[in-house]
Amino acid sequence: MNDESAINGLLEDLKNPDEAVRDRATQELWRIWFWQKGVYGLELLERSQTLLQAGAVAEAETLLTDLIQDQPDFAEAWNRRAVLYFTQHQYHKAISDCEEVLRLNPIHFGAFHGLGLCHASLGNYREAIRCFRKALEIQPYALLNQRLILECTARLS
């Protein structure tokens, strides 16, 4: 599942001028990350998302925290909890979880993007720009990150 040459090929595809190639690579990387722990991990991630969408934030957080304690190397569990914290405006907790995602998976463009969003929400625009740029190193055609860099730069002036 974590075939390094396949992942390296997908990372190269993220830099391809063909949007369809980039989209396929993006989807495949997310699939690999979500399936890191097989059906067990995927089902718990999906259950946490269902709980979050239903407004059962505390239950979703408990489920993700238990999953992280059980599988501390499951980067996507940390990432999903970071997303939960971000949606609850708990930016420092989200930052901490994003940093753990990147320690486990240094190519996780979603975690760099999330870090940037957290720092921007806290008014740390220079750090937000740095994070969005790191995401762009991995996913150079990501227009959202390009736009967020411009917005943060404007806020600095």
User: Quick check: 157 pLDDT over 90?
Assistant: no
Contact 131, 115 (CB under 8 A): yes
Model pTM score: 0.94
- The pLDDT, as a whole number, for residue 116 is 98
User: Quick check: 2 pLDDT over 60?
Assistant: no
Who contacts 127 (Cβ-Cβ below 8 Å, separation ≥6)?
A: 119
Name the CATH architecture for the domain at 38-97: Alpha Horseshoe (1.25)
| Domain locations in the chain as residue ranges | 1-34, 38-97, 107-157
| Nearest one of 116, 109, 104, 115 to 77, comparing CA atoms | 104
**HSE-up of 56 (CA within 13 Å, CB side)?**
11
Question: Which residue's structure tokens are 């190269």?
Answer: 12
Distance CA 137, CA 6 (A): 19
Question: Which residue's structure tokens are 């609850």?
Answer: 88
Kindly report which listed range (2-6, 27-31, 100-104) carries the lowest average pLDDT score.
2-6
User: Quick check: 156 pLDDT over 70?
Assistant: yes
Per-residue pLDDT, averaged over 146-157, amounts to 95
Per-residue pLDDT, averaged over 136-144, amounts to 96
Other Cβ atoms within 10 Å of 7 Cβ, number: 17
Per-residue pLDDT, averaged over 96-116, amounts to 98
